[in-house]
Structure 1
């Protein structure tokens, strides 16, 4: 069947005007050319689209059906053309974003909200994952941006710090330390710990375990849960204590007591990480947005001085 967009467009104009002369003027073609196009369309469809007489032109039932479908086709083509153009400049498409528990509990929601306000045509597709899994997905081109526990110093990646967290000890209510205003790491040496699986939480342990070894012990992990919600749930059941971050505790339910750790001075960082080369345009827009956000925060800090 040899029907093109030109046939549909000519038909829709005539269906609106119901007058061959006016329709041909609107289309900037001759009336005979319009007549031949409509006749060809009817021949291809093997239907009559218009009733014609010397006094009137009107749509048949088949013509009305073709008008509805033809308008949808034309609208779809125009939308596709517009989407294609916006994708070509990076103002449409998808951004695949990975995140850890720590990121989603603090900086990430506001960052994504602001990015969407600036680039509403880019659909953000979030995926939860631990740091090691996100880094592999970045290598496999299954993610565009990862929000991971840093620092990340691996070839092929660039990164930017987006949040800092202070570690805190979390104990169940009624625990022997629950009444304390704070603890030192050495106070926790004989405690049972609840944490994530060693391989999955390796980047967090790279931060925590050196501090514990400096205090003279290795945490005795007796229960494991895949994510922070599960860890907090097991702690509230009295299975042990844990060390997480202040931002995570903000989402904790009852039955838990947070304790600052007085002898840990440095913070844990969450970084946005992306491939260092061949960025897709939505990814480049997000990287530019992060850099602008950092600049605005710096300017704000300077004004407060």
Structure 2
């Protein structure tokens, strides 16, 4: 993202970019209200929103996140079923409704409903509560970038549990900078693919 912003600013120095960091639910609401022009978020439920277009950037797996001293923390992978008797820490549903429901559905597929002992309005707070040993959580692996080194991100066994990280915008957005920024994203993605080939 920094390289995309740098390239965009170099080409279009007259365009001012303002950054806002919000949880997924807030990003979606502000995108729909027109308060923001472009959101970088997870793809949960975006296909159900009328008038929103999005471009997948990369796919991110979900992970089971445990404190380092948890009895299961040294396992290379775990099944969701192994969490049946664990206390769960969750991001509040209004902050990420689709993500919250996704975790509940993962647990339901394995025959249990998670015992939620704590909820927080920010993902960094969820990670801190898990790190304190209050419970476990299931979140996107991208949070490893912001996590304490004492947390363990464990792969999930079985079916694919992943989510797309996307750039999203209102289809009817009239800001001329949005398609220009999307072009820079596409150029960066193409460069990444070429470097990996």
- TM-score interval, normalised by the smaller of the two chains: 0.7 to 0.9
* Residue 61 (structure 2) pairs with residue 166 (structure 1): yes
Cα deviation for residue 276 of structure 1 reads: 0.9
The CA RMSD over aligned residues, in Å, is 2.1
Q: Which has the larger radius of gyration?
A: 1
What residue is the counterpart of 2:117 in the other structure? 222
Distance of aligned partners of 1:287 and 1:127 in 2 relative to their CA distance in 1, 3 Å threshold: same
Note if 1:199 corresponds to 2:124: no
1:188 Cα deviation (Å)? 0.6
Higher percent of residues as strand? 2
1:178 and 1:199 mapped to 2: Cα distance?
A: 29
Partner of 2:71: 176
Give the aligned partner of residue 169 of structure 2.
274
TM-score of the superposed pair, with normalisation by structure 2: 0.87
Q: Which aligned segments of 4 or more residues in structure 1 are displaced greater than 6 angstroms?
A: none
Q: Is the 8 A contact 1:149 1:203 kept in 2?
A: no
3-state SS of the aligned residue for 1:167? strand
Partner of residue 156, structure 1:
51
Structure 1 position 142, deviation (Å) = 0.9
| TM-score, normalised by the number of residues in structure 1 | 0.58
Partner SS for 1:161: strand
Name the CA shift for 1:110/1:194 in 2 (closer, same or farther; >3 Å).
Answer: farther
Map of 1:112-151 to 2, 5 A cutoff? 112-151=5-44
Tell me which of the two structures has the higher relative contact order, counting C-alpha pairs closer than 8 angstroms and 6 or more residues apart: 2
Secondary structure of the structure 1 residue equivalent to 2:126 = helix
1:60-111: CA deviation from partner (whole Å, max 9, x where unpaired): xxxxxxxxxxxxxxxxxxxxxxxxxxxxxxxxxxxxxxxxxxxxxxxx4443
Q: Work out the number of aligned pairs and report it.
A: 195
Q: Gaps spanning 5+ residues in structure 1: where?
A: 1-107
